[in-house]
Amino acid sequence: MVEGAFFTFGSAYEMWAFRIAVIALVSFLIGGMVLVTRPQQEVIGHPKGLFLLFMAEMWERFSYYGMRALLIFYLVQHWLFSDSEASVIYGAYTALVYIAPVVGGYLADRYVGQRKAVLFGAVLLTFGHFFMAFEGDGTLGQDNPMLNVFWLALALIIVGSGFLKANISVLVGQLYSRTDIRRDPAYTIFYMGINVGAATASIICGYLGQTVGWEYGFGLAGFGMLIGLVFFVIGKPLLLGKGEPQHPERIAGGKEYLIYAAGLGMVALCWLAIQYQELVGVLLGGFGGALVAYVLAIVTFQMAYGSWKQAPTVPFFVYISSAVGLIVSLIAASQGGAAAPYAAGASLVVLIGVLIQQSLVKTFHERDRIFAAMFLILTSIVFWALFEQAGSSLNLFTDRHVDTQGVSASIFQSVNAIYIVLLAPLFAILWQKLAAKGAEPSTPMKFGLAVVQVGLGFLVLVWGANSVGVNVPTPVIFIFLIYLLHTTGELCLSPVGLSAMNRLSPAHIASLVMGTWFFASATGNFAAGLIASATGAEGVGEEAGKQLVLDVYGTVGWWAVGIGVGVMVLSPFVKKLLHLDTIRDDDVGDDLEGQAGAGLEPQEAGMHPSTNPQAPGVHEQNR
Cβ atoms of residues 89 and 151 within 8 Å = no
CB count, 10 Å around CB of 82?
Answer: 15
Which residue from 56, 3, 11, 4 is spatially nearest to 29, judged by alpha carbons?
56
Of the CA atoms within 13 Å of residue 239, those in its CB half-sphere come to 27
List the CATH code of the domain at 367-623. 1.20.1250.20
DSSP, residue by residue, 586-607: TT---PPTTGGG-SS-GGGG-S
Q: Is the pLDDT of residue 398 over 90?
A: yes
Strand partners, 394: none
pLDDT, tens digit, 9 for 90 and up, residues 348-377? 999 999 999 988 888 888 888 888 889 999
pTM of the full predicted structure?
0.86
Spell out where 338-426 has E strands.
402-403
- For residue 79, what are the CA distances in angstroms to 6, 82, 83, 150, 545? 28, 9, 11, 10, 21
Q: How far is Cα 244 from Cα 167, in angstroms, rounded to an integer? A: 12
pLDDT, tens digit, 9 for 90 and up, residues 206-218? 999 989 888 899 8
CB count, 10 Å around CB of 530?
Answer: 16
Q: Is the pLDDT of residue 431 over 70?
A: yes
Looking at residue 465, what is its pLDDT?
Answer: 94
Between residues 605 and 41, the one the model is more confident about: 41
pLDDT-based confidence at 583, cuts 50/70/90? low
pLDDT-based confidence at 254, cuts 50/70/90? confident
pLDDT-based confidence at 584, cuts 50/70/90? low
pLDDT-based confidence at 386, cuts 50/70/90? very high
Q: What are the two backbone dihedrals, phi and then psi, of residue 577, each rounded to the nearest 5 degrees? A: -65, -20
Cβ atoms of residues 274 and 158 within 8 Å = yes
What percent of the chain stands above pLDDT 70? 90
pLDDT, tens digit, 9 for 90 and up, residues 73-104? 999 998 989 888 999 999 999 999 888 888 88
Q: How far is Cα 321 from Cα 315, in angstroms, rounded to an integer? A: 10
Cβ atoms of residues 175 and 238 within 8 Å = no
pLDDT, tens digit, 9 for 90 and up, residues 48-59? 888 888 888 888
Q: How far is Cα 267 from Cα 152, in angstroms, rounded to an integer? A: 8
Average pLDDT over residues 179-193: 76
Instruction: Rounding to the nearest 10 degrees, give the CA dihedral for residues 495, 497, 503, 507.
Output: -120
Q: Output b/e per residue, 425-445; b: 16+ Cβ within 10 A.
A: eebeeebeeeeeeeebbbbbb
Q: How far is Cα 101 from Cα 607, in angstroms, rounded to an integer? A: 7
Mean pLDDT, all residues of the chain: 84
- For residue 144, what are the CA distances in angstroms to 80, 141, 185, 382, 556? 10, 6, 49, 36, 36
- Among 15-29, 149-163, 173-187, the minimum mean pLDDT is found in 173-187
DSSP, residue by residue, 308-357: TTTS-HHHHHHHHHHHHHHHHHHHHHHTT-SSHHHHHHHHHHHHHHHHHH
The kind and range of the H/E element at 11 are none
Q: How far is Cα 13 from Cα 100, in angstroms, rounded to an integer? A: 38
Cα angle 374-380-382, degrees, rounded to a multiple of 5: 115
Q: What are the two backbone dihedrals, phi and then psi, of residue 471, each rounded to the nearest 5 degrees? A: -85, 5
CB count, 10 Å around CB of 601?
Answer: 20
pLDDT, tens digit, 9 for 90 and up, residues 306-363? 888 899 999 999 999 999 998 888 888 777 777 888 888 899 999 999 999 988 888 8
Looking at residue 169, what is its pLDDT?
Answer: 78
- Maximum Cα–Cα distance across the chain: 77
Q: Is the pLDDT of residue 516 over 70?
A: yes
Of the CA atoms within 13 Å of residue 39, those in its CB half-sphere come to 0
Between residues 32 and 413, the one the model is more confident about: 413
Out of 109-123, 161-175, 445-459, 581-595, give the one with best mean pLDDT. Answer: 445-459
- For residue 465, what are the CA distances in angstroms to 385, 471, 528? 22, 9, 22
Neighbouring residues of 606: CB distance < 8 A, sequence distance ≥ 6: 101, 102, 104, 105, 108, 165, 166, 167, 169, 170, 592, 593, 594
Cβ atoms of residues 606 and 105 within 8 Å = yes
CB count, 10 Å around CB of 474?
Answer: 24
Strand partners, 2: 9
Q: Is the pLDDT of residue 618 over 70?
A: no
pLDDT-based confidence at 596, cuts 50/70/90? very low
Average pLDDT over residues 569-587: 76
How many Å separate Cα 240 from the centre of its chain? 30
Strand partners, 3: 8
Looking at residue 567, what is its pLDDT?
Answer: 95
Looking at residue 554, what is its pLDDT?
Answer: 95
Average pLDDT over residues 62-71: 89
pLDDT-based confidence at 121, cuts 50/70/90? very high
Q: Is the pLDDT of residue 614 over 50?
A: no
pLDDT-based confidence at 541, cuts 50/70/90? low
Looking at residue 586, what is its pLDDT?
Answer: 40
Between residues 500 and 216, the one the model is more confident about: 216
Average pLDDT over residues 165-190: 77
Q: Output b/e per residue, 333-356; b: 16+ Cβ within 10 A.
A: beeebeebeebbeebbebbeebbe
Domain boundaries, the chain: 367-623
pLDDT, tens digit, 9 for 90 and up, residues 21-39? 999 999 988 888 888 888 8
